[in-house]
A and B are shown apart, each in its own frame.
Chain A
Amino acid sequence: MATPQAIQTGGGLGGLSEATRKRLQRKARIDVWFERVLFAFAFAVLLLLGAIIASLIASSWPALERYGLEFFTENRWAANVEVFGALPAIYGTLLTSFIAIVIAVPISFGIAIFLTELCPNVLRQPLSTLIELLAGIPSIIYGMWGMEVMAPLLRTWFPSVFPAGTGLATAGIILAVMIIPFITAVSRDVINTVPAVMRESAYGLGCTTWEVARRVILPSVKRGLVGGVVLGLGRALGETMAVTFVIGNNLFLNPTLTGQGTSIAALIANQFSESDGTQRSALLALGLILFLITFAVLAFARYLLRNSTGRHA
């Protein structure tokens, strides 16, 4: 019995045999180092973000220094005469994402309400799983489909609106198709957090399904829904592959809805590998702008979603 002896010698490890004490001390040392190593990895995440911002600023500095504010006001991107204006790309990025959100939000909310309120129980699980699986399809597939199927269809059906089939609006529609599964999945999760009791008591008062959804469910999870939409917006803003195929790659500012245009991500994807010097630095500056825009949008989304349980990427 080691215990009484341990108390006698002042507690701690005093009463244990030499070997046991060594072993315990070794384990305690491991304990300290275990936490230190884990912490180093966690801290690396912070460093990673710092490194991303720092490297983008450093490598885009030559262009930003040379063009200054002109970079944001010039309305064309002409590599041959070394005129680099970010305006067409920024306009394209914001417009296509806006179109995507306008189309995707009503459809996604409609699907989410259908899945949570109307859907027969047999179908609920399979349809939800299908939505989640579709959210995993790589974006390049959406881009290929847009170019090969949707653009020709738009050209045949609405030749006056889509003379070429491709353009900013086409890119917006493809982005909408891409983020619908994503926004739907988040919305469904958020709506499912509403306690059944609330729903049932509203039905008990004689509300119709729509009144329950509109007056009880939506107000109580408004924040989470908006958070899901903003998260979808973040995706749309930074999307490269779904957009590059169908946006038209017109490097002059074309302030229309359906005209040919470009976006930041599409412009970088198209020109980066064949660029050097100032052009490369200007493209990196575009990347920095895109990162800052999405950072702000995603931070806002996380702020709204901070109490929700959604585990989506």
Chain B
Amino acid sequence: MQTQMTPLYRRRKLLNRLVMAACIGATLIGFVFLFAIILTLVTKGLGAISPSIFIERTRMNGGGLGNAIWGTFMMTSLATILGTVIGVAAGTWLAEYGNKGLLPKVIRFINDILLSAPSIIIGLFIYAVVVVPMGSFSGWAGVLSLTVIIVPVVIRSTEDMLRLIPNSLREAAAALGAHRWWIIVRVCYSGARAGILTGILLGFARISGETAPLLFTSLNSNQWNFFNLDNEMANLPMTIYQNMTINAFIPDLVSLAWGGALILTAAILILNIAARYFSRQRS
């Protein structure tokens, strides 16, 4: 049998070709943009990277990014620890106890809203409830604003991962006489550990690149500040932002900003890949 090339058939085929070409075109456009960004980052950033960038503090001329990298590491780590405690607890309640009634539904919905709430609003909120009463910008305010951003991420992934644990496991443990908290801690957590860890890592990656919530909370500083979270704390995103705007007339600082941007992006991509690796190990 030979396919009859009726006009209708030809038209359908042509339309299909056109649309599929458009889809390939869209893919090319998308990837061209994204590769252009990576290329710019690498070409502009690589020149600024040297061992001293990690060791020296930020200065108006020359210097490095050491204090900013340390500050970002310090604040994101503390926020991640706090966020893990709060997020895992709340996520566990939603997954294990939140099956009936309106309240869990409302909490879940609110959490989804907070998950994508604009981060600058979180910064304003922490400014109003922490910075104003304390009277000064501080590392703690920065930590708290980052905590507010990571908590919804951890809650979501904890709940999703605990829901993957089959109920028959819980029932089996209950039949052996285990109490509910014992079941959750020993049976559910050990099954969901990899997934929850993935969520925490993704959240950690996300908050380490946040700039907007730090604008009016931790501010920035050009001094080394190791553990004194009552003072303003240097951080990488804010340093990049200031170097690209108010200090943009100093070529050295702009180049440092690109170096910082490359370090930040590389760190975030590595964290994302690590998270992916963990979640693959699970399956």
- Footprint of B on A, CB under 8 Å? 27-28, 30-31, 34-35, 37-39, 41-46, 48-49, 51-52, 55-56, 58-59, 106-111, 113-115, 117-118, 127, 129-130, 132-134, 136-142, 144-145, 147-149, 177, 180-181, 184, 208-211, 213, 231, 234-235, 237-241, 244-245, 265, 268-269, 272-273, 284, 287, 290-291, 294-295, 298-299, 302, 311, 313
Q: Interface of chain A, helix or strand or loop or mixed?
A: helix
Which of B112, B114, B128, B264 makes the CB contact (< 8 A) with A284? B128
Which of B110, B116, B273 makes the CB contact (< 8 A) with A235? B116
Contacting residues, chain B, for A290 (C-beta < 8 A): 118, 120-121
Contacting residues, chain B, for A115 (C-beta < 8 A): 27
Q: Are B27 and A114 in contact (CB under 8 A)?
A: yes
Which of A42, A52, A295, A311 makes the CB contact (< 8 A) with B125? A52
- Expressed in whole angstroms, the Cα–Cα distance for A174 and B153 within the complex equals 25
Q: Which of B48-56, B57-65, B179-187, B223-231 contacts A (4 or more CB under 8 A)?
A: B179-187
Q: Interface of chain B, helix or strand or loop or mixed?
A: helix
Q: Are A41 and B86 in contact (CB under 8 A)?
A: yes
Give min CB distance, A167 to chain B, whole Å.
Answer: 17
Q: Are A272 and B23 in contact (CB under 8 A)?
A: no
Q: Which of B234-248 contact A (CB under 8 A)?
A: 237, 240-241, 244-245
- Expressed in whole angstroms, the Cα–Cα distance for A287 and B121 within the complex equals 6
Contacting residues, chain A, for B132 (C-beta < 8 A): 59
Q: Given A35-B180, A45-B111, output 18 extra A-B contacts at Cβ < 8 Å.
A: A30-B179, A45-B152, A46-B110, A55-B129, A56-B125, A114-B23, A114-B27, A130-B34, A133-B269, A148-B44, A181-B30, A208-B13, A265-B120, A272-B216, A291-B121, A299-B113, A302-B112, A313-B206
Given A45-B90, A51-B129, the answer on whether A114 and B34 have CB atoms closer than 8 Å is no
Q: Are B181 and A34 in contact (CB under 8 A)?
A: yes
Q: Are A42 and B90 in contact (CB under 8 A)?
A: yes
Contacting residues, chain A, for B25 (C-beta < 8 A): 110
